[in-house]
Amino acid sequence: MKKLAYLIIHCTATPEGKAFVGRDIIRMHTTPPPNGRGWKTPGYSDLILLDGKVENLVPHNDDDFVDPREITNGALGLNAISRHVAYVGGTDKKGRAKNTMNPAQELALHQYVLAMIHNHPDIKVAGHRQFAAKACPSFDTIKWLEAKGIPSKNIHR
């Protein structure tokens, strides 16, 4: 059990406007290749649906530690110290990276980030692409967090 250090924001890299729910993402992540990634657990703790509702994929508590049962596969090397949240979308109809968050998703993500900072005042918030050579979450997380008024001490740079 390790201290929670990061909230990492992701997108599901699914087409804009196409509805996916938790069971779809869990299936994508845990089904063996070639139809899935073959992971033991999904990549995200929570999923922000198109309507802005937050669906829990892997149960977690609000303490300052990541229990082994709370670990998800969101960012290689950081999973034991991170919570991962994703919004449904992140690509255009041709599969190219695009910020597809609608207003309901953006509001839900903002509220999620604020709640995490409230519960974990020292947490650093980052986008997946800050740790991996990926476009995920398909927007500049630092600029988004700054625009939302997130304290600088909570933004991973």
For 108, the token pair is 């839900």
pLDDT in tens, 8-41: 999 999 999 999 999 999 999 999 999 999 999 9
Residue 36 has a pLDDT of: 93
What's the average model confidence in pLDDT over 106-130? 98
Share of the chain above pLDDT 90, in %: 99
- pLDDT mean over 57-85: 96
List, as one string, the DSSP characters of 47-108.
EE-TTS-EEESS---SSSEE-GGG---SSTTTGGGEEEEEES-EE-TTS-B-----HHHHHH
Q: What is the CATH number of the domain that holds 45?
A: 3.40.80.10
> The tokens of 100 are what?
């597809």
Pair 90, 99: CB distance under 8 Å: yes
Tally of structural domains, the chain: 1
What phi, psi does 40 have (nearest 5°)?
-75, -35
Measured CA to CA in angstroms, residue 152 lies from 85, 110, 132, 149 at distances of 20, 15, 22, 8
Q: What share of the chain is helix, strand, coil (3-state, %, to 5)?
A: 30, 20, 50
Domain region containing 114: 2-154
Q: Is 52 or 1 the better-scoring residue by pLDDT?
A: 52
pLDDT band (50, 70, 90) for residue 146:
very high
Q: What is the pTM of this model?
A: 0.97
Distance CA 28, CA 22 (A): 10
Q: Taking residues 29-54, what's their average pLDDT?
A: 96
Helix (H) or strand (E) holding 143: helix 141-147
Distance from C-alpha of 11 to C-alpha of 2, rounded to nearest angstrom: 25
Question: pLDDT class for 79, splitting at 50, 70, 90?
Answer: very high
> In whole angstroms, what is the distance from residue 120 CA to residue 116 CA?
6
